[in-house]
């Protein structure tokens, strides 16, 4: 057994077999993939990587899983021996999913995904890394040990790890296990371990408190229930406030960090630089070639490039945000901002820039859909005393106010004309 000392979770236990995955070249690459892209140029502490995040998510999957399975005896089978086998199997599957879920990220994470070939996403590369590199063999080694210890039906393969995480082939006849949908919720849902880790990690490294919440209380109140013979994650009634804090933390992080006006501008400048320095302006399709790209290589190419498109990023030449819509802009607000920009564009050309972002911080399902909703958007509250299940939206007045998607529209201008452009905007709005 090996231990990593993590700034969020303390000591994290790693098995020898899991350590082989972590020590692989494909996983070590994540040390040079920043978690928050260009945010380090705004919040200077945000130098953390997908490496630490992936290990943290792995740790949380088993921590949450252990909490839920301790709370609900014989969760997976009335037969104690079968339940024990399944519990060990699912736990290891979840740890591997958590550990490998970000392996396909491009340099600077999500920001540069538009440099993929059409139709490609980082998840496509994640699948290729899990199923087609040395990591595939390490996962199969774990599977062989599980078959020897628990029986042939408890095999672990890279294809199974990917299938559960992706969730598209849940009913594939080769993998008909209803509990797999339950496992997917640990990694892709409103209560997932990915969010649990990155909110706390991003807050710590950015030096902000927006993303903090009571992790221990939150985990301790997570539970499971059956709906139409299918297991679902839920939260106990006593954990409603911890859940509200968790949801609000993500909302605040989007507003204050992820959609920060300077970070959004720098992301755009970085993409322009990437198009200039990448061969053909795109990432390669071949997975072995793709894995050679990381933040360090990109920054080195940018530093050595004389292309005019890389100068703003290299010199941190930042435009000034001269106009910003309200946080939840409606269609009229969007159209108004765009009209203002179009007029400015005619006068100032490339010295002004438009940016818009639309994102639902949470996919909270309306209360009317519960408890029949199976979209994964509904967060259910389980009353331990009565067994009743309700949608969080029936209980929380606070969360009703953040269902509406975040929609922010901004106009930027060169610093030396920012004051002039602001006056021009006032003039346009008064007409």
Q: What is the pLDDT of residues 11-52, one digit of tens each?
A: 999 999 999 999 999 999 999 999 999 999 999 999 999 999
pLDDT of residue 144: 96
Q: What region does 360 belong to: left with phi over 0, alpha with psi -120 to 50, or beta? A: beta
The CA-atom distances, in angstroms, between 328 and each of 187, 291, 332, 334, 359 are: 28, 38, 11, 10, 10
How far apart are the C-alpha atoms of 7 and 59, rounded to whole Å? 13
The pLDDT of residue 121 is above 90: no
How far apart are the C-alpha atoms of 398 and 375, rounded to whole Å? 22
Higher pLDDT: 341 or 361? It is 341
Average pLDDT of the residues in 264-290: 94
Taking the model in full, what pTM does it have?
Answer: 0.92
CATH class as words, domain 2-207 = mainly alpha
How far apart are the C-alpha atoms of 383 and 361, rounded to whole Å? 26
Model pLDDT for residues 203-247, shown as the tens digit of each residue: 999 999 999 999 999 999 999 988 777 888 999 989 999 999 999
Model pLDDT for residues 41-64, shown as the tens digit of each residue: 999 999 999 999 999 999 999 999
Query: Which 8-state DSSP code applies to residue 10?
Result: E
- Which strand (E) or helix (H) includes residue 86? helix 80-100
Q: What is the mean pLDDT of the chain?
A: 90
pLDDT of residue 402: 75
Helix, strand, or coil (residue 416): helix
């Amino acid at each position: 057994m090996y231990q990593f000392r993590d700034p969020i979770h303390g000591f994290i236990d790693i098995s020898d077999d899991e350590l082989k995955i972590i020590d692989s070249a494909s996983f070590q690459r994540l040390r040079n993939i920043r978690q928050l892209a260009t945010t380090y140029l705004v919040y200077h502490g945000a130098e953390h990587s997908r490496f630490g995040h992936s290990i943290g998510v792995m740790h949380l999957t088993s921590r949450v899983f252990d909490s839920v399975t301790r709370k609900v005896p014989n969760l997976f089978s009335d037969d104690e021996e079968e339940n024990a086998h399944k519990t060990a199997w699912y736990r290891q599957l979840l740890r591997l999913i958590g550990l490998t879920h970000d392996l396909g990220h491009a340099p600077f994470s999500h920001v540069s995904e538009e440099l993929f070939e059409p139709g490609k996403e980082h998840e496509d590369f994640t699948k290729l890394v899990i199923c087609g590199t040395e990591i595939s063999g390490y996962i199969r080694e774990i599977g062989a040990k599980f078959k020897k210890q628990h029986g042939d039906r408890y095999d672990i393969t890279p294809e199974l790890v990917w299938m559960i995480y992706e969730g598209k082939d849940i009913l594939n006849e080769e993998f008909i296990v209803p509990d797999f949908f339950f496992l997917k919720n640990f990694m892709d849902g409103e209560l997932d371990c990915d969010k649990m880790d990155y909110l706390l990690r991003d807050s710590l490294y950015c030096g902000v408190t927006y993303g903090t919440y009571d992790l221990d209380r939150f985990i301790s109140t997570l539970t499971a229930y059956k709906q139409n013979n299918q297991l679902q994650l839920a939260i106990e009634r006593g954990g409603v406030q911890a859940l509200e804090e968790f949801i609000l933390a993500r909302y605040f992080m989007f507003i204050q960090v992820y959609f920060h006006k300077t970070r959004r501008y720098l992301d755009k400048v970085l993409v322009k630089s990437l198009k200039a320095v990448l061969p053909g302006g795109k990432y390669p399709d071949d997975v072995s070639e793709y894995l050679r790209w990381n933040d360090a290589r990109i920054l080195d190419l940018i530093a050595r490039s004389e292309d005019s498109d890389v100068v703003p990023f290299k010199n941190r030449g930042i435009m000034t945000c001269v106009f910003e819509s309200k946080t939840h802009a409606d269609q009229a607000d969007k159209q108004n901002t765009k009209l203002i920009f179009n007029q400015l564009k005619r006068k100032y050309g490339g010295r002004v820039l438009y940016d818009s972002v639309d994102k639902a911080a949470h996919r909270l399902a309306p209360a009317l859909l519960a408890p029949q909703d199976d979209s994964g958007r509904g967060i259910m509250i389980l009353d331990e005393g009565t067994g009743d299940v309700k949608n969080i939206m029936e209980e929380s007045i606070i969360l009703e106010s953040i269902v509406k998607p975040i929609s922010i529209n901004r106009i930027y201008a060169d610093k030396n004309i920012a004051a002039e452009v602001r006056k021009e905007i006032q003039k346009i709005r008064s007409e």
